[in-house]
Amino acid sequence: MLLKTRLKGGIRDGAGAWVFYSVLPAWPGVEPRFERIARFAPLVGLVLGLVQASFWWLTAAWLPLAAQVPLVIALGVLLTGGLHLDGAMDTADGLAAGPRRALEAMQDSRVGASGVQAMVLLLLLKVAAFACLAQAAPVALLWAALWGRVSPLFAMAAFAYLRPEGGSAAFHRSHWLGLPRELGPALVAAGLLLAGLLVAGVAAPLLWMGLLAGVPALLVPLWLGRRLGGHSGDSYGACVEWSEALALLLCGLLVRLLGLGG
């Protein structure tokens, strides 16, 4: 009975993660629950990355790279409803305001100059990454989408939540059961991705992208947490965006160094 209850709760949390982290249609017949949804974000991210990778692959033969790149970036924003990008912009405004006014600036619905600059930098980093990746972009998209959603889990494990009175992302901390347990679905997602790439016969250097793409997922939440003195829902979104952008860029540089881009 306990196992059945936990399984049912996990399915409901998975449905909640699907609704929270994407704009894709909700699961039929499952009532979403929004408790431990952060653990399922990497799985949702892998699906979103697969959609972007499929778009890249399907358009590679006839769409110019100059059109492909902005379209795949726009698709990524549309699939999430701009959720993480909004958090990255708010976080940049908070960092610019300084420690005492960071939370106030992040709560302000108006976007400041620092937020706009952060958005431009993120988009430019992704453009540069895709220009380097070329034919290797689909594999990098999958790894980056997965690791980008693992990044907030490290943030939640290592730093306190910045809004003790509660906030839009306080439920993540209130239902937190420790990093080892919360990483379970991410490990499943990574295993599925690796197995799929092996079956597809992807070159070994592209498989090593998986480790390289994970470096920003560890460093970004650490840097942001130290600068802000903790994390909030906005900075969780910033972790996703910066980890994903830097993962793509690192993968792109690896591809160019090894001459795999085509």
Concatenated DSSP letters for 97-123?
H-TTTHHHHHH-SS--HHHHHHHHHHH
**What phi and psi values does residue 233 have, to the nearest 5 degrees?**
-60, -40
**Count of positions (residues) in the chain:** 262
User: Tokens 């908070």 appear where?
Assistant: 94
Q: Which amino acid is at 3?
A: L
How much is the pLDDT for 186? Answer: 95
- The answer as to whether 236 is a domain residue is yes
- The answer as to whether 28 is a domain residue is no
Sort 77 into a burial class: Cβ within 10 Å, 0-12 / 13-18 / 19+: middle
- The answer as to whether 14 is a domain residue is no
What total of structural domains would you count in the chain? 1
pTM of the full predicted structure? 0.94
Residue 122, both tokens? 């993120």
Residue pair 100/254 in contact by the 8 Å Cβ criterion: no
Residue pair 18/24 in contact by the 8 Å Cβ criterion: yes
- The answer as to whether 29 is a domain residue is no
| CA atoms of 161 and 170, how far apart (whole Å) | 7
Range of the domain at 88: 39-258
- The answer as to whether 141 is a domain residue is yes
- The answer as to whether 18 is a domain residue is no
Q: Residue-wise pLDDT tens for the chain (262 aa)? A: 656 667 888 899 999 999 999 999 999 989 999 889 999 999 999 999 999 999 999 999 999 999 999 999 999 999 999 999 999 999 999 999 887 788 888 887 888 899 999 999 999 999 999 999 999 999 999 999 999 999 999 999 999 888 766 666 677 777 788 899 999 999 999 999 999 999 988 888 888 889 999 999 999 999 999 999 999 999 999 999 999 999 999 999 999 998 875 5
Please list, in sequence order, all residues whose beta carbon lies within 8 angstroms of the beta carbon of residue 200, skipping any fewer than 6 positions away.
none
Residue pair 138/248 in contact by the 8 Å Cβ criterion: no
- The answer as to whether 17 is a domain residue is no
